């Protein structure tokens, strides 16, 4: 079990992962020592930051546009992930929250998977008007 928390009163993120390795065997997945096979948080941060800066930048929050932004965000992050040619199934989730009213948000996730091969990343991005929480799960198959 690991836990990750975004240090902020606005949003927090708790992640728990339960090890499945005793039940699901690592089926020929490239081992984690291979530099190319393992994704790192740094890589995800870079991709997510690039996409978010590009899609939203410093724009103010408008509800009508947020749906289109969010769609662009997940699409572009997914595209970038696939481009890295890593042998995973990817799940990208993104939440866009208007921060003007000072409301709280908590995103927590729990997984039941193989700790040795499957990865989870979280990235938090904000500008003056909104907050984005991007979660990326990479699951070996």
Partner 1 sequence: MADRDFVIRAAQGEKFRAATAEKIMTEVVAEQLAGEIFSMLTVEDLGRKISDAINQRLKDLNLPRYKFIVQVMIGESRGQGVHAMSQCVWDADVDGMATINYNLNNIWCQATAFAIFTY
Query: Which positions lie near partner 1, rule CB under 8 A?
Result: 5, 9, 12, 14, 16, 18, 20, 24-25, 27, 61, 63, 66-67, 69-71, 73-75, 77-78, 81-82, 89-114, 118, 120, 135, 137, 139, 141
Q: 44: exposed, middle or buried (C-beta count within 10 Å: 0-12, 13-18, 19+)? A: buried
Minimum CB distance to partner 1, residue 130 (Å): 8
- Dist CA 103 CA 92 (whole Å): 24
The pair of structure tokens assigned to 84 is 């890295």
Q: Return the CA Rg of the chain.
A: 16
C-alpha count within 13 angstroms, C-beta hemisphere, residue 30: 11
Q: Residue 47 or 96: which CB sits closer to partner 1?
A: 96
Minimum CB distance to partner 1, residue 44 (Å): 14
Q: Residue 34 or 119: which CB sits closer to partner 1?
A: 119
Minimum CB distance to partner 1, residue 36 (Å): 18
Minimum CB distance to partner 1, residue 82 (Å): 6
Q: Residue 58 or 83: which CB sits closer to partner 1?
A: 83
- Dist CA 11 CA 75 (whole Å): 23
């Amino acid at each position: 079990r690991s836990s990750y928390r975004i240090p902020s009163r606005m949003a927090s993120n708790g992640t728990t992962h339960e090890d499945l390795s005793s039940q699901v065997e690592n089926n020929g997945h490239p081992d984690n020592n291979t530099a190319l096979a393992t994704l790192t948080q740094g890589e995800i941060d870079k991709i997510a930051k690039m996409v978010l800066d590009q899609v939203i930048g410093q724009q103010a929050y408008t509800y009508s546009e947020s749906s289109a932004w969010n769609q662009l965000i997940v699409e572009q992050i997914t595209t970038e992930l696939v481009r890295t040619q890593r042998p995973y199934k990817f799940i990208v989730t993104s939440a866009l929250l208007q921060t003007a009213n000072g409301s709280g948000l908590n995103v927590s996730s729990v997984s039941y998977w193989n700790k040795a091969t499957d990865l989870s990343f979280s990235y938090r991005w904000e500008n003056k008007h909104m907050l984005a929480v991007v979660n990326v799960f990479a699951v070996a198959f």
